[in-house]
Chains A and B, each alone.
Chain A
Amino acid sequence: MRRRPLAILGAALTLLATAAPAAAERLVSSLSSHRVLITPSFTGTELVLFGTVEHDAASVPRRGSYDIVATVSGPRETLVVRRKERMFGIWANADSRTFVEVPSYLAVLSTRPAEEIAPIDVLRRLQIGLRRTLLPQRIGPDTADVVRDDPFRNAFLRLKLSHDLYVDAPNAVTFLTPILFRATIPLPAGAPIGNYEVDLKLFADGALITRGGDAFEIVKFGFEQFVAGAALNHGLLYGLATALMALLTGWLASVVFRRD
């Protein structure tokens, strides 16, 4: 199947015919849902991403098969990573590093490990993979990313991965047919509320051919939305209601369990 002499010949002919190869494939994709609702029974969920590689008359036949890299990033947040050191016999937070406006959620899903899909300089330029994603950090007066094996940067990635908020899934995208693909985006219960972007990149023969994208949002719904909204917008009333609820609960207990 992989060796298609005619296809290669065709590709060569097309290359000769058009000086600049017009990459005419198009990515068409969708998600199983564009809105994830947080209800009282929410314990995390999965979204299914599916799509197809569309050809038209100008499409160049490819030698190898297609590769997809899907990068899902959640709302940005600023985080502090602290390192404990022993001081006077006890372990206390000594050094810290602030990560500025980094994705709260980041999943990199691909058909193969990224290193096999494209050369390393391409991957770096396109920020493909967790290790190559730009993570701006506040260093003195500047905000910049640091070298890849910086201990704070590694610790940040390790902690995010351990909370399932960063996901590295090099085999999560599968081609069902040569042009039809699907992937599952795992969303943990701790995934923050907000807008999520899905960035799709189509590769063939180690080169980026085209990009696609989609988006979804995670929102609190119904009762959860009501409570969170009340706590934020009507703090005094919310506090008084909670205190009153406490008094009522306490009073009820003393009545129910009254013995004399």
Chain B
Amino acid sequence: MTPVQVYLPIADLPVNIFVVFAMGIAVGFISGMFGIGGGFLMTPLLIFLGISPAVAVATVSSHIAASSFSGAITYWRRKALDLSLAAMLLIGGIAGTAAGVWLFTYLRALGQLDLTISLSYVLLLGSVGGLMVAEGVRAIIRSRHGKPVELRRPGSHTWFHGLPFKLRFKQSRIYVSSIPVVMIGFIMGFIGAIMGIGGGFLLVPMLIYFLRVPTNVVIGTSMVLTLVTMATATVLHSITNHLVDVILALILMVGGVMGAQFGARAGQKMRSERLRLMLGILVLAVGVRFAVDLVMTPDDFYSIRQLEGTQ
């Protein structure tokens, strides 16, 4: 009989290999379908399995790196990504990650890291999810009435189109100041470091709504950014905390890349406004789940945790 349970060498507990593999496939399917990393789903799922939050956050980064690399190659073949835009985003992304790690360490010293993570999940996923759902519903109603779905309004300029240091991104066919690009990268890196998520579900709408990046290159570009930040995070987590579980990562990523392929095909068959609405509902649901945990009277008022640094 093949062993169903496998003992994870870093997480220090046995898990059911099929449960973890199924989780990888499910989250991979969703990430392929919507063109996101899926960290905001995977991290809470792993914690639910009993894996410590620190190991979960560190290991998920390598899983996201795998699925976003697989996705990025596919988009690269179709020439549906903008490397120069991704590079510009990365400049801000790296600075943001450093700032996020600094705040992470500071909050951990205060002993309020768990609450901060929960609150930021509620606020961020709740607000972004809510906006996406509202936008999705509006788009579907518009198309029902026979009006064309217009996401990109080429004529409309916002205030930051007047900013200096303008650059032309050929692949995206946009001419925009580099300041908001670096800013968006910074925000993504910052949020990613604190919440342990790649942030594709945030980056994609930001690129569409603020920078007017066309939808056909936005997912590929977002995947390149996610790939680099998450691969870097994997190495950094390994050096500083020694908490990346390679066995857990391998099971997750094999499931993840397989699921992502099927998810991408399912996504291509669906109308994009319906897809955005579904993603919005998903994001909102995770946010609400965290909110319920915060507001509901807990079953157990006490929790036990190993003191940091006494492994």
A-B Cβ contacts below 8 A, count: 188
8 Å CB interface, B92-142 against A: 111-112, 114-115, 119
Q: Give the residues in chain A near B295, CB-CB below 8 Å.
A: 89-91
A78 touches B310 (CB 8 A): yes
Pick from A85, A193, A239: contact of B236, CB under 8 Å:
A239
Bound: A33/B71 CA distance, A:
50
- C-alpha gap A250/B260 in the complex (Å): 10
Which of B3, B65, B68, B297 meets A91, CB within 8 Å?
B297
The yes or no answer to B307 lying at the interface (CB within 8 A) is yes
Q: Let me know if A235 and B7 touch, CB within 8 A.
A: no
The answer to whether B115 touches A92, judged by C-beta atoms less than 8 angstroms apart, is yes
- What is the bound-complex CA distance between A232 and B244, given in angstroms? 10
The answer to whether the Cβ of B176 comes within 8 Å of any Cβ in the partner chain is no
Chain B contact residues (Cβ within 8 angstroms of A): what range? Answer: 35 or more
Confirm or deny: B74 has a beta carbon within 8 angstroms of a beta carbon on chain A.
yes
Pairwise interchain contact B260-A253, C-beta atoms closer than 8 A = yes
Q: Smallest CB–CB gap between B61 and chain A, Å?
A: 9
How far, in whole Å, are A79 and B243 apart by their CA atoms in the complex? 19
The size of the chain A interface, using a CB distance under 8 A, is: 60
Contact A93 B303 (CB under 8 A): yes
- Whether B221 is near chain A, meaning CB under 8 Å from some CB there, is no
Chain A contacts for B161, CB-based, 8 A: none
A246 pairs with B249, CB closer than 8 A: yes
Cα A228 to Cα B302 with chains together (Å)? 31
Which of A85, A227, A231 has most B Cβ within 10 Å?
Answer: A231
Q: Residue among A91, A192, A220 with the most chain B CB within 10 A?
A: A91
User: B69 on the interface (CB 8 Å rule)?
Assistant: yes
Given contacts A245-B250, A247-B66, contact A43 B5 (CB under 8 A): yes
B115 touches A42 (CB 8 A): no
Residues on B with beta carbons closer than 8 Å to the beta carbon of A80: 304-307
B contact residues around A252 at 8 Å (CB): 257
Decide: A238 and B307 in contact? CB cutoff 8 A.
Answer: no
- Residues B65 and A235 in contact, CB atoms below 8 Å apart: no
Distance in Å from the Cβ of B32 to the closest Cβ of chain A?
10
- Chain B CB within 8 A of A98 CB: yes
A250 and B301 contacting across the interface, CB-CB below 8 Å: no
Of listed B62, B235, B244, B305, residue having the most chain A CB within 10 A = B235
Is residue A40 within 8 Å, beta carbon to beta carbon, of the partner chain?
yes
Residues of B within 8 A of A46 (CB): none
For the complex, is A83 an interface residue (Cβ under 8 Å from B)?
Answer: yes
Question: A77, A91, A240, A243: which contacts B310 (Cβ < 8 A)?
Answer: A77
Given A79-B306, A84-B303; A246-B14 close (CB under 8 Å): no
- Beyond A250-B69, A251-B70, 10 extra complex contacts between A and B, CB < 8 Å: A41-B7, A82-B305, A98-B307, A192-B12, A193-B12, A235-B238, A243-B65, A249-B70, A251-B73, A254-B74
Residues of B within 8 A of A (CB): 3, 5-7, 9-10, 12-14, 62-63, 65-74, 77, 111-112, 114-115, 119, 231, 234-240, 242-244, 246-247, 249-250, 253-254, 257-258, 260-261, 294-298, 300-307, 310
Cβ-closest 4 pairs across A and B: A239-B238, A250-B69, A253-B257, A250-B70
- 28 residue pairs bridging A and B, Cβ less than 8 Å apart: A41-B7, A79-B306, A82-B111, A82-B303, A82-B304, A84-B298, A84-B303, A90-B295, A91-B295, A92-B115, A98-B307, A155-B304, A158-B302, A159-B303, A223-B9, A224-B7, A228-B9, A231-B244, A238-B246, A240-B235, A240-B238, A243-B62, A246-B65, A246-B69, A247-B65, A250-B72, A251-B70, A254-B73
